[in-house]
Copies of this chain bind each other. A is one copy, B any other.
Amino acid sequence: MTEPFVVVGADAAGLSAASKCRRTDPDREVVVLDAGRWVSFAHCGTPYYVKGEITALTAMTALTPADVRERGIDLRTEHRVTAVDTTQQQVTVDGPDGQTEVGYGELLIATGAHARTTPLSDEALAGVFTLHGLDDAAAIRAFLTDPDAYDRADVGADERLDWERVDAMGAMAPPAQLAIIGGGYVGVEMAEALAAWDVEVVLLHRGPRLLETFGQTAGDQAVDALEALGVTVELDTEVQSVEAADGQVSAVLATDGRSWPVQGAIVGTGITPATDLIRDTPIALGDSGGIATDAFGATSVPGVYAAGDVAESIHVVTGEATWDPLGLPANRAGRAIGATVGGEQTTVGQVAHTAMVKAGAIEVGRTGIIQEDAAVAAGFEPVAVDIEAASRSHYYPGAEPLWVRLVADRQTHRVLGGVTVGTDGAALRINTIATALHAGYTVVDLMNVDMGYAPPFSPVWDPVLTAAKVLDGRL
């Protein structure tokens, strides 16, 4: 008898793989093991739940455990895999009924990532949070709510929540001042979310600009957009410590001596691949710290795959391994691995680090290599342009500034990457540049795409085309 396909982690990559494997080979036994109680939830939705725009926690879960089981998948939540034995082809599992061994034919490691905490923030301190999962999100929303108004239903009553923690936060006095530490995706999205509450928000970021991977224009516009929401943004500000008084946060202190009185702090300083489980196995890590994989998502050990935030991918521009912990690559790689395990060899695809983020009124997109130094490091001779155009025909109501950055290689004229920034249709426009990157397009190839034009949606030359025209003139 074939041993089952065992999946560790019941989120985007893991459940995509499990589902696709069952669809491809309906007779295949598939076991999904997850340490937590939640499955298939949308990390990216949590800031908007904290904001209050999404009311039900369960709205953010794509599948219930019952849905998963209906697909014929043996889903076991609250089952933590504690060891992987690639010689015996089995995993050790700690579950509610004790420890067991589960043999596998193929294994998928889809354990995701951990939120990085600063050495200085004590997570045990009441009022210090990371945002990595629904329990964190519910705890933050409970903390923001006045104890007199606190009601389990309001934070999204669900038996799977860590109610001890959430209720404790609900009983605390709501903060008058909050610090966000870190100005990446989570920091910026949480700044928008918290600004919707009756609380003073200060966003402290170590680097010289917000959303560093999106470039200078995106960073500048994000500062303006968050300040317009009442958020105080402090760049070049490294936090030295979170101070406490009476067991609760009382202030954050920067290395330059400045301090801000706050009653809570959200740490959004990034994530790291959750590779603890494979530390003592021969499964190889890549330079990024994620698990190294090939074009099919296979690791260095036959029969073992990795996908999602724990794994590396191949960069479509450089052809090199990279770590791109985002939702679509996780889903796509999981789906491909499920097909492969089910009998249909399928590549996991490549990544361009394409991303979108909203900061108040501003929307930004990025794809590929957008910084000169990164392009040089990858062996290119970059030429970049930054243009400002209008989002619609200039005379049509609602036309707003739209900034496009486009980077190409001087030798080959190949497009290496781009950024789109604006308040009107900026984020969606990044997908045309991403498509051009996958096609290996030159600047002229991109400039010659027959894009659509109608005054309510675009100028005659879409801003992406205008950027290509200007860049072509510089090559």
Residue positions of A touching B, CB distance < 8 A: 12, 42, 44-45, 48, 53-54, 56, 59-60, 316, 326-329, 331-332, 347, 349-358, 363, 365, 367, 393-397, 425, 427-432, 434-439, 441, 445-446, 448-458, 460-462, 464-465
Would you give the shortest CB distance from A442 to chain B, in whole angstroms? Answer: 11
Would you give the shortest CB distance from A452 to chain B, in whole angstroms? Answer: 4
Number of copies: 2
Q: Is the CB of B452 within 8 A of A430?
A: yes
| Residues in chain B near residue A356, CB distance under 8 A | 452-454, 457-458
Would you give the shortest CB distance from A29 to chain B, in whole angstroms? Answer: 23
Name, among A44, A365, A393, A452, the residue most crowded by chain B CB atoms within 10 Å (CB to CB).
Answer: A452
Contacts A326-B453, A356-B453, A431-B464 aside, 16 further interface pairs with beta carbons under 8 A come to: A42-B395, A44-B455, A45-B393, A45-B395, A48-B395, A48-B456, A327-B453, A350-B450, A354-B450, A355-B452, A358-B454, A425-B428, A431-B432, A431-B449, A431-B452, A435-B449
Name, among A353, A354, A356, A365, the residue most crowded by chain B CB atoms within 10 Å (CB to CB).
Answer: A356
| Residues in chain B near residue A464, CB distance under 8 A | 431
Q: List 7 A-B contacts (CB under 8 A).
A: A45-B395, A328-B450, A347-B448, A427-B456, A427-B458, A428-B457, A437-B450
Q: Is the CB of B454 within 8 A of A48?
A: no
Nearest CB to that of A44 among chain B residues?
A: B455
Within the assembled complex, what's the spacing in Å between the Cα atoms of A451 and B441? Answer: 16
Would you give the shortest CB distance from A71 to chain B, in whole angstroms? Answer: 16
Q: Is the CB of B450 within 8 A of A434?
A: yes
Within the assembled complex, what's the spacing in Å between the Cα atoms of A429 and B397? Answer: 21
